[in-house]
Amino acid sequence: MATYEPVFSALGLKEWCESGAESASGPTSLADLIARNTGTDVPAPSIWELPFPSMDQLHEACPAFPQSRALTKGIENGFLDIKDGLSLVLDPLTQPLSWFLEGSLWVFEAIPWWIMIPVLLVIVMLVSRSRPLVVFVAVCLLGMAFIDYYSFAAQTLAVIFVCALLCVVLGVPIGIAMSRSDRLQRAIIPVLDMLQTLPAFVYLIPLIFLFSVTEPKLYGIAIILYAIVPVVRLTDLGIRLVDKDVIEAADAFGMTDRQKLVKVQIPLALPNIMAGVNQTIMMSLSMVVIASLVSAPGLGVLVLRGIRNLELGVGLVSGLGIVILAVILDRTTKLALARINAGQNQ
Amino acid sequence: MSARTDEPETKIGIRNLYKIFGPDPQRALKAVKDDGLGKPELLEQTGHVLGLQDINVDVKAGGITVIMGLSGSGKSTLIRHVNRLIDPTAGEIIYNGSDILRCGAEELRKIRREQMSMVFQKFALLPHRTVAENAAMALEVRGIARSEYIPEAEKWLDRVGLHGYGESYPHQLSGGMQQRVGIARALTSNAEIMLMDEAYSALDPLIRTDMQDLLLELQKELQKTILFITHDLDEALKLADHLVILKDGAIVQQDEPQTILLEPSDPYIVDFVSDINRARVLRVRTVMDRSTDTGDMSIAGEIDQEDNLESVIAMAEGDTRKTYLVKDGDRKVGVLRMETLIKSLVPTEASDDGDRVR
């Protein structure tokens, strides 16, 4: 006996309800089964046990009313319906991402370690200008190579390199556009909020439907969507925070908008933009681990193996490897940031 | 105010300028013009702020026009209208015979690049560029090559006393030196007009005096048209060829500083000038007798008509019985009795009728 049946009767919808009785008979609920087996009727409900009039409850009272799983099913069907059209557009658009990732992975694998490690050290030196950091990075990389984790770490770096670069290439212009239009800012901020708060796994679900799991762009898109947020936000913020007096001076001396952007706004916003780049790199690293669920290569695969096969040692060591990569990337970009800050502190 | 014949041409003419801040300035403007609402009434009735009200100023070529007012009087708003960092609600700004407010974006940019330069209260230098690059900003914006603009900037940096600082960054300099860079930047642009928005207000008093002297010295040589904003009456009286006093967005009085001091037209200005060391501001020519007939007077010495009274008192060693012959170069122009001088130092009472007709 369903609680809300009298409501439908009172509204004169009894016939409509019964018309749906045959067509929409969902699976029997556990409560129904128990009631049937014990042969006892459900006692008349007291007000304390009044269930919330949810879709399932209403369905029970009136079979023509849809169950809540019809909603999720509907969304799924809707997505599947537009999926073909969507992937027709998105596939060619995102194809370059696959090429970049494949290329980058190939480069990191093809270059032998005795070239790659020195090159990475030189890059760290140029960016950070800090000898102790270079020594630290050298020790870490050689240590990882020694325990046979170098190729996995190199794959992870290859993926982060491409994704973080694309985040900056796409994110900085979006941030600049946002800083120039309040309306655009109002439109984009909720999207950024959503991208930032959506659990990382949820990104993967629609992407799995859209693209084949074997394609690198699947995890590339997931990483970029997740990691692009800070660089966009901080570019926007950085440009908006540029001293109004300096902007006024630029106007007073007749700078065009373009000159103002290139000569004043971007250089003065650079500390904030770099802070965004640092965050973006760290977030790509965290996402590349999760993306190993959808075939992203690298240390994440080993973590996943540790979980799947209960290989405690592999899981812990590869987890530690990720921490080391994170420390290397963070220190290097932070030192670059500190150098920029030192250049313009007033 | 009628223009005197011996005065130089008007470089910038500000005509009936109004600025109203708020959501519907045009409607508020109507209320001000037709119903004669004042600043407080307008704010209460419509929620609009009356920034500037019926401003008429002639900025003469080759002189320093000082606009003085307390904070909130609209003086910074006014100076930003001249190069259109702010657009007015109504009015005209005539520069070289045409209305700046009708300029297109391109034309306006050209004026800002080549004919007007600006010095800011908070210096507004680019922190990531060297002092020389900052000074050369106007030239760089015009697209002049670095090899040309750096020497030009260095030249002006030398001129304002910053020789050898070209390679430094602004944050390595003290406040006074940063503002010298600001002035060098304005001079390097080689614009005929300099807008100075409270340029010295952020500096401490001794440095401020130095900078005022520097400006007067440069001005003697360069003869720029300068519009100078300040809230400091001493500074205004020291620098001004023409002084405009602003209160609540409207002009209270404008004239030569000496005249304002001797004939303040408004209790507001009397209040202002009462704290002033009159002997330092008033000049001999303002208080002398314009008869060159020395008669039987015993002349104690000769003084220049541009000397201030303080220096004359010092020369007379405080003796009130002496009389001096006043000269303009070699020409005798009048005599100054010390008695007259002492009388002129008595503060003027405000006339009962505030709006004195001129």
ipTM of the complex as predicted? 0.81
Say which CATH class A83-345 falls into: mainly alpha
**pLDDT reported for residue A345:** 59
Q: How many CB pairs under 8 A join A and B?
A: 67
Nearest-CB residue to B128 (from A249, A253, A344): A344
pLDDT in tens, B72-85: 888 999 999 998 99
Q: Specify whether the CB–CB gap between B119 and B186 falls below 8 A.
A: yes
More confident residue, B122 or B297: B122
pLDDT in tens, B294-346: 666 778 888 888 888 888 888 888 888 888 888 888 888 888 888 888 888 88
**Residue B132 pLDDT grade (very low, low, confident, very high; cuts 50, 70, 90):** very high
Closest CA to B272 of B249, B309, B246: B246
Residue A248 sits at the chain B interface (C-beta within 8 Å): yes
pLDDT for residue A25 is more than 60 = no
Nearest-CB residue to A343 (from B111, B114, B128): B128
Nearest-CB residue to A248 (from B85, B126, B142): B85
Averaged pLDDT, A94-119: 93
The residue type found at B8 is P
How far A128 CA sits from the closest chain B CA (Å)?
19
More confident residue, A234 or B7: A234
How far A344 CA sits from the closest chain B CA (Å)?
5
For chain A, which residues make up each domain, given as ranges?
A: 5-66, 83-345
**Percent of chain A clearing pLDDT 70 (strictly above):** 91
Contact list, B118 vs chain A (CB under 8 Å): 249, 252-253
The H-or-E segment that residue B31 falls in is: helix B25-35
Residue B85 sits at the chain A interface (C-beta within 8 Å): yes
Which residue's entry shows tokens 């290139």? A262
Model pTM score: 0.81
Residue B111 sits at the chain A interface (C-beta within 8 Å): yes
The residue type found at A156 is T
Give the CA distances from residue B178 to residues A327, A344, B129, B153, in Å, rounded to whole numbers and listed in that order. Answer: 40, 15, 13, 14
pLDDT for residue A39 is more than 90 = no
Angle (deg, nearest 10), helices B175-188 and B146-159 = 130
Asked if A249 and B110 come within 8 Å (Cβ–Cβ), the reply is no
Averaged pLDDT, A282-288: 92
Angle (deg, nearest 10), helices A312-344 and A131-146 = 160
pLDDT for residue B182 is more than 90 = yes
Q: Tell me how far apart the alpha carbons of residues B175 and A335 are, in angstroms, rounded to a whole number.
A: 30
How far B107 CA sits from the closest chain A CA (Å)?
10
Residue B113 sits at the chain A interface (C-beta within 8 Å): yes
Asked if B116 and A252 come within 8 Å (Cβ–Cβ), the reply is yes
Which residue's entry shows tokens 């971007």? A266
**Percent of chain A clearing pLDDT 90 (strictly above):** 60
Residue of A nearest to B128 (CA): A344
**Percent of chain B clearing pLDDT 90 (strictly above):** 41
Residue B143 sits at the chain A interface (C-beta within 8 Å): no
Helix (H, G, I), strand (E, B) or coil at A66: coil
